[in-house]
Amino acid sequence: MIDTIEILKKQFEINDLYHQRSNLCFITGKKEQLLSILQALRDLHNYTHLVMVTAVDWIEQNQFQLTYLLHNYESRTDLGIRVFLDRECPVMASIHHLWKQGRVYQQELHEMFGIDFPGSPDQDIPMILEGWQGPPPMRRDFDTKKYSEETYSNRERNHHEPEQYMKQILYPEEN
């Protein structure tokens, strides 16, 4: 895996190599070169399996981190490519033509984070939520507890201290 990364370093701008395990590495790539990196990994270096595409919201640094995780069945290694997007206007190139399940991941990320993948089929059709009128729910500035308390009403709860409650039931004469 290290030689693959060395080969990639000659062509693209790659930094932040993070060795998590012997068979798992994370690298950071540039957003504009990501499509070429993925295509090179898939066609030349045998990383044929797209495991997942996720996003992490680094609200303190005003960035989204997209992680593309690829797996190589020959050498049994994983390579995660991180890409940082601007949080105000997150746009990223679509990979639905490389892997068919990429379309589904991108549809979910668009709905949950608000990241735009122009060209991805069915992107604006809501997949998970129906009739959702709020902000994208997975962003860190969306407070789910406050939203839940405002929208849904809770049942009144009776609080019992277990010890006192059981004493009252079992020995009513003494209390």
Partner 1 sequence: MSSLYPPILNGKAVYDLKDQKYLKIWQGPQHPGVTGNMSLELDVCGDQVIKCKTHVGYLHRGFEKLMERRRYINCFPIVCRICVPEPDTNEYLFAAAVEELLGIEIPERAKWLRTLNLELSRLASFLMWIGGQSGSFGSGTVAQWALAHRDYVLDLFEEWTGARIYHMYMTPGGVRGGLPEGWDAHAQKVLDGVYKLLDEIRHVQLNNAIFKMRAVGLGTITPDMIDKYGIVGPVARGSGLGRDIRKDQPYLIYDQLSFDTITESGGDTYARTVVRWREMYQSIDLIRQILKNMPRSGPLHISLPNVLHLKVPAGETYVRAESTRGEYGYYMVSDGSAFPRKITVRGPSYSHAMALLEDLAVGVNLADIHGLMLSLHTYPPEIER
Partner 2 sequence: MFEDKKDIQLQEPEQDQRPDWVKDSKTLTNSGLPDEERDWFCDARPTPAPKSNRIMEKFFNWARANSLWILAFGTGCGAIELRPLITARYDISRLGMQPRPTPRQASVFMIGGYVSIKTLKRIVRSYEQMQGPKFVVAVCSCAINGGMYWDSYNTIKRIDEYIPVDVYVTGCMPRPEAVLSGFTKLKELILAGKAEGQNLYAEKFDWYKANQKKIIHDWNMPDYNW
Q: CB of residue 146 vs partner 2: minimum separation in angstroms?
A: 9
Which H helix or E strand runs over 8?
A: helix 2-11
Residue span binding partner 1 (CB under 8 A) among the ranges 6-14, 87-95, 96-104, 164-172 = 96-104
Exposure string of 33-53, with b = 16+ CB inside 10 Å and e = fewer, is bbeebbebbbeebbbeebeeb
Of all helices (H) and strands (E), which one includes residue 115? none
Among residues 22, 153, 158, 175, which is the contact residue for partner 2, using CB under 8 A? 153
Angle at 140 between CA 136 and CA 146, to 5 degrees: 80
- Which residues neighbour 4 within 8 Å (Cβ) at sequence distance 6 or greater? 41, 45, 79
- Asked if residue 145 binds partner 2 (CB under 8 A), the reply is yes
If DSSP codes are grouped into helix, strand and coil, which group holds residue 151? helix
Name which position in 73, 86, 135, 164 contacts partner 1 (CB under 8 A): 73
Q: Per-residue string for binding with partner 2, 90-129, x by CB under 8 A?
A: ---------------------------------------x
23 lines the binding site for partner 1 (CB under 8 A)? yes
Smallest distance from the beta carbon of 66 to partner 1, in angstroms?
12
Task: List residues binding partner 2 (CB under 8 A).
Answer: 129-134, 137, 142, 144-145, 147-148, 151-155, 157
